């Protein structure tokens, strides 16, 4: 785990998680007066958590539709949508992850990745999402299927925390991970 420094880790998708689960393709943290991103488009989903500072996020029609972001907050970005975001003059601290896989369809059905909520910042209801990024860094840095599976589970926990579900003290997180309705159960603890 890296304390007080910027980091980014990427990994290729695991075929089983792409076809039947959730792939965490990368994650990172950065702080300061960061460069503003304009007109970017991803091939996967992204979740951005702002833990300090403020800035703006906007959609495909440019800066005219900018929405204010004030920490602690989060927003998600769907694939194939042009977007931009960046901090104010004082900078901010951002944590991000990119993900794909069949589970994104289940998350859409559950209303988590609803198209109308894309690029709309919402207050972060559970600060555990921020803490879990350090564990996600470790999981993504671990080679092999164990790292893939751990990163997948942590990505789901971060999404859950950003939705405020963990804040409601749910002890078990049940997510349908396949089209065949197989479910994984993960015990929520501080020692992930």
Q: Residue 30 sits in a domain of what CATH number?
A: 2.60.120.280
DSSP single-letter state for residue 115:
G
Higher pLDDT, 107 or 185: 107
User: Is 173 domain-assigned?
Assistant: yes
The pLDDT assigned to 190 comes to: 34
Closest CA to 69 of 46, 47, 90, 86: 86
Q: What is the mean pLDDT of residues 27-31?
A: 97
User: Is 148 domain-assigned?
Assistant: yes
* pLDDT tens digit sequence for 108-156: 888 888 888 889 898 987 888 899 999 999 999 998 899 999 999 999 9
The pLDDT assigned to 44 comes to: 96
User: Is 126 domain-assigned?
Assistant: yes
The pLDDT assigned to 178 comes to: 31
pLDDT band at residue 192 using 50, 70 and 90 as cut-offs: very low
Q: How far apart are CA 20 and CA 49, in angstroms?
A: 26
Q: How many CB atoms lie within 10 A of CB 180?
A: 7
User: Is 3 domain-assigned?
Assistant: no
**Phi-psi sector, 131: left (phi>0), alpha (psi -120 to 50), beta:** alpha
Which of 24-28, 49-53, 81-85, 116-120 is predicted with the least confidence, judged by mean pLDDT? Answer: 116-120
The residues, ordered by sequence, that sit 6+ positions from 191 with a Cβ below 8 Å of its Cβ are none
H-helix segments, the chain: 15-20, 103-109, 128-141, 145-162
Q: What angle in degrees, to the nearest 10, is found between the helix axes of 145-162 and 128-141?
A: 170
- Per the structure, the complete domain to which residue 172 belongs is given by 14-187
Residue 63 reports pLDDT greater than 90: no
Length of the chain: 192
Residue 172 reports pLDDT greater than 60: no
pLDDT band at residue 1 using 50, 70 and 90 as cut-offs: low
Domains: count for the chain: 1
The pLDDT assigned to 112 comes to: 86
CA-angle at 10, arms to 9 and 11, nearest 5°: 130
Closest CA to 100 of 1, 36, 184, 15: 15
């Amino acid at each position: 785990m890296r304390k007080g420094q910027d980091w980014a880790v990427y990994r290729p998708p695991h075929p089983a998680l792409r076809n039947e689960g959730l792939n965490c393709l990368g994650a990172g943290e950065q702080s300061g007066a960061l460069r503003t991103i304009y007109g970017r488009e991803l091939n996967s989903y992204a979740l951005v958590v702002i833990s300090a500072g403020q800035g703006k996020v906007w959609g495909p029609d440019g800066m005219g539709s900018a929405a204010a972001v004030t920490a602690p907050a989060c927003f998600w970005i769907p694939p194939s949508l042009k977007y931009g975001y960046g901090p104010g003059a004082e900078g901010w601290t951002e944590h991000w992850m990119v993900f794909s896989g069949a589970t994104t369809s289940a998350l859409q059905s559950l209303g988590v990745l609803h198209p109308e909520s894309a690029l709309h910042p919402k207050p972060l209801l559970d600060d555990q999402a921020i803490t879990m990024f350090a564990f996600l860094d470790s999981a993504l840095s671990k080679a092999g299927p164990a790292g893939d599976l751990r990163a997948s589970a942590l990505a789901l926990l971060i999404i859950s925390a950003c939705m405020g579900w963990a804040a409601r003290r749910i002890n078990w997180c049940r997510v349908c991970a396949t089209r065949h309705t197989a479910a994984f159960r993960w015990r929520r603890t501080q020692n992930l």
